[in-house]
Amino acid sequence: MDLSKLLNIARKASAAASIEILSIYESGNFSIEAKEDRSPLTKADKVAHRIITEYLEETDIPILSEEGSHLPYEIRKHWEYVWIVDPLDGTKEFINRNGEFTVNIALIKNGEPILGVVEAPVLNKQYYGIVGYGAFLNEAKLPEMKPKEMNQKGLRVVASRSHLNKETKDFLDSLNQPEVVSMGSSLKFMMLIEQKADIYPRFATTMEWDTAAAHAIVKSLQGNVVDSMDQPLVYNKENLLNPFFKVL
């Protein structure tokens, strides 16, 4: 499996989708609908899904996209490789026009993220990496993530504006004078990657496509995304819902 070639395809897919997302974002014509779970769906989600799928279909690797059809686990469990895609992560941020949304594309091998692309169209930032080979922001190589002690004073903790629940508050209370920093979508992970934050605890619902691409980039920089038992998150599960997790 030529991971460099696959990364190049994923980067092109992300860039092409980002151009169309930006065009719709700037036009203000979002055509907002409500999905079955009442979460918003826009014209940009649909267009980005179509563009990314067209690129990734060249690879003959199955695609699991938030906006696509999801095959039964009895079929999916036999996949060695699978693309996991969120064509527009942070649809609420998109609608609110704060720029904090991303395109997420990950390659999974036997449940583990091995390659990821996260692109923020408004910020003109494309993060990408292959586990074992490092990661980049645009064309600049990123330094490895630095471990932090949890009792360290003033840890910078990423917390979502919309998900500061009791568990998150309790976690913050367990730390030594933490500083809270906020960001939308998978850009929360990118704050750690850019060393603008130290830890991201998530005690709220996420799906595999919300985390897979960012998880791959974190892993490529010697970080990890772990559940309450300190086990790495796994992907292409029967239930595509993630457990609560921490990015370290």
Residues 124 and 20 in one domain: yes
Q: What is the per-residue pLDDT for 33?
A: 65
Query: Which domain CATH number covers 226?
Result: 3.40.190.80
Burial letters 41-50, b for 16+ CB under 10 A, else e: bbbbbbbbbe
Q: What is the per-residue pLDDT for 159?
A: 86
Q: Tokens representing 223?
A: 């970080």
Q: Which domain holds residue 188?
A: 156-247
The whole-model pTM stands at 0.94
| CA–CA gap between residue 207 and residue 188 (Å, rounded) | 15
**Euclidean distance between the first and the last CA atom of the chain, given in angstroms as a whole number:** 29
Residues 104 and 208 in one domain: no
Residues 73 and 98 in one domain: yes
Q: What is the per-residue pLDDT for 35?
A: 66
- Give the dihedral sign, CA 102/8/206/53: positive
Query: Which domain CATH number covers 11?
Result: 3.30.540.10
Q: Choose the final residue of a domain: 141, 165, 190.
A: 141
Helix, strand or coil, per DSSP, at residue 67: coil
Count of domains in the chain? 2
| CA–CA gap between residue 242 and residue 233 (Å, rounded) | 7
Residues 7 and 114 in one domain: yes
Helix, strand or coil, per DSSP, at residue 144: coil
Residues 134 and 11 in one domain: yes
Strands (E), 39-154: 40-41, 63-65, 81-89, 102-109, 112-120, 125-130, 134-137, 140-141
- The DSSP symbol for 95 reads H
Task: Spell out the per-residue pLDDT of the chain, length 248, in tens.
Answer: 899 999 999 999 999 999 999 999 998 776 666 566 556 678 899 999 999 999 999 999 999 999 998 999 999 999 999 999 999 999 889 888 899 999 999 999 999 999 999 999 999 999 999 999 999 999 999 999 988 899 999 999 998 655 678 999 999 999 999 999 999 899 999 999 999 999 999 999 999 999 999 999 999 999 999 999 999 999 999 999 999 999 98
Residues 10 and 120 in one domain: yes
